[in-house]
Amino acid sequence: MLLGATWASVRADGEEKATAEDAAVVSAAVQHFGSEKDAPSFAGREGKTSVLVHTESAGPAALYLSDDQIRADTAGEKWEVPTELRESLRKRNAAKVPLAGLTLGRGVVAADLDKALAPRDWEGPEKYSDARAFARVWLPAYSKDGRTAVVRFAFGPTAHGATATYLLTKAEGGWKVTKWKLAYYA
């Protein structure tokens, strides 16, 4: 029986930590994002698919992880993030967690975005010339049976900020994106 990330990812001191399962879920969502033609990109990098992911989780963000915000971000869709996943998402992201050292999937590049990006960086960092965009992820949340996950991340470049919400299911061969929504803020 899969214990789920709520149990398996807690350190001895009670703090969350990122796991290999988290890396697999984040990678599946971010790879999908990087392949979307409607996703933003740095100037002149529209054909690229790699995405920079910050080396630390986004951490507590009461607004971005609230029920109202998640519902608003997926409004108009024919799906909703289940209550248990929204609650778990907030619990798992009570503090920032290091993501450096996780094995991320192809096209998902760990980078310290605080050092790599300049404010309003529309051109993209020279060091990462293959990067299309960047993301600051929150740790994923999992259903009790471990077969469904949700991951949210803030992404850019965008003029006013944006978030992505991904619902995934575990299938043979790994995590598969089943639903997603990109929300842009004005």
Q: Could you tell me the sign of the dihedral formed by the alpha carbons of 145, 151, 33, 75, in that order?
A: positive
pLDDT band at 4 (very low <50, low <70, confident <90, very high): very low
Of the listed ranges 55-64, 111-120, 159-168, the least confidently predicted one is: 111-120
Question: What mean pLDDT do residues 118-133 have?
Answer: 86
Per-residue model confidence (pLDDT) at position 24: 98
- Residue range(s) defining the domain that contains residue 161: 5-184
Count of domains forming the chain: 1
Residue-wise pLDDT for 72-113, tens only, equals 999 989 999 999 999 999 999 999 999 988 999 999 999 999
Question: What mean pLDDT do residues 50-78 have?
Answer: 94
pLDDT band at 10 (very low <50, low <70, confident <90, very high): low
What token pair was written down for 133? 């965009």
What torsion do the CA atoms of 32, 28, 162, 89 make, to the nearest 10 degrees?
150
Cα 17 to Cα 7: distance, rounded to the nearest angstrom:
11
Per-residue model confidence (pLDDT) at position 110: 95
Question: What mean pLDDT do residues 17-42 have?
Answer: 95
